[in-house]
A = this chain, B = another copy of it.
Amino acid sequence: MLRLIKKLSRKKGLPPGTLVHVGEPKEQTVKIDLIEFDGETYKTSTITDSESLPVKSKSNKVRWLNIDGVHQTDIIKKIGKHYNIHSLVLEDIVNTGQRPKVDDYGDYLYIVMKMLYPDVQNNSIQSEQVSLIITDNTVISFQEQEGDVFDAIRTRLQEGLGKIRNRKADYLAYALMDAVVDNYFAILEAIGEDLESLEDEVLDDPVPQTLQKIHTLKTDLIYLRKSVWPLREVVSSLERRESPIITEPTQLYFRDVYDHTIQVMDALESSRDILSGMLDIYLSSTSNRMNEVMKVLTIIATIFIPLTFIAGIYGMNFQYMPELGWKWGYFGVLSIMVIVGILMLIFFRKKKWL
């Protein structure tokens, strides 16, 4: 649960634009990859020295600069200086508690997204902040750590699959965003499976742990919603082409991403409704179980308490108790007890408790 609020701690009292990394502390070195391509050519290189960042050029080649790791703020600062990026943007890149958003800085767009992946060990969902800087011929992407969601795009670029090599930076940005959103569907599938096994559990054999599972899943859904809901607005504003950096042919593709985002939201809402239905069933099943326990107690007690009373009567030591001397007294009393017992059973049967 901490997850939902922990990343909020911020540097207090520092001037805006001060770069302070907020997030999981990391140790690996920041990795910078550069891919340059156009319809014909494709070149990939790793930049080890932040001095050797490519100069801005007016060439038609599209450049994709991918940075894995935002914890070394000096590197981020150098990149920011090199590309003339506003200090508030740099601050948001290294502070990984951002909400998905798009900021239009005129000659570049700044986009924040959340990449989600299941954390199998803790049976929860982890998130990583992905920042994109989009100019007309360059895309700079910042990830918190080396990931593989973008590998398929690298392959498509290298092998020239689809139209990606013939398009501009905005299409590349679309492809990256699409990859992130596509990944949400995998998360949803995992949640769907959890929901289904939980539904079986709740209907067949609810135990107190079931409630905790419902609670965990509910928290996961809240977390997912927080990541996806604002993204909807982001993609919608890109789709409406409020910035000249997004060209008209790419607009259609952003509409496609928008549709996917809506589908994710729809599935989240449905999951939430179903989950709240499960809670009702769980709570009701607790009552039903109690009912059953009470019925057993009531049946046993109601049958035997009167019988014990009868036995108690003839256990009294009065000197003058005529029945005690009767020959068939004992068997008569036994018969009466059997009859009382049977009458009780009939009564319970009529009440449908048996």
Contact = CB atoms under 8 A, between A and B. Distances in A.
Contact of A192 (B2, B179, B307): B2
Interface in A324-341: 324-330, 333-334, 337
Given A178-B16, A309-B304, A324 B319 contact: yes
A222 to B, nearest CB: 5
Interface string A343-354: 000000001010
Main secondary structure of the interface of A (DSSP, over half): helix
Contacts of A15: 156, 161-164, 175
A45 B311 CA distance: 91
Given A8-B192, A218-B273, A314-B316, 14 more contacts: A1-B274, A10-B182, A12-B152, A222-B270, A294-B297, A300-B305, A300-B306, A305-B308, A307-B309, A311-B312, A312-B312, A312-B315, A314-B318, A315-B315
Contacts of A191: 5
B286 A291 contact: yes
Copies in the complex: 5
A262 interface: yes
Contacts of A284: 208, 211, 282-283, 286
A42 interface: no
Nearest to A105: B252
Interface string A141-177: 0000000000111011000011110000000000100
Given A219-B277, A287-B287, A226 B316 contact: no
Contacts of A164: 15
B16 A256 contact: yes
Contacts of A342: none
A271 B309 contact: no
Interface string A252-266: 110110010011001
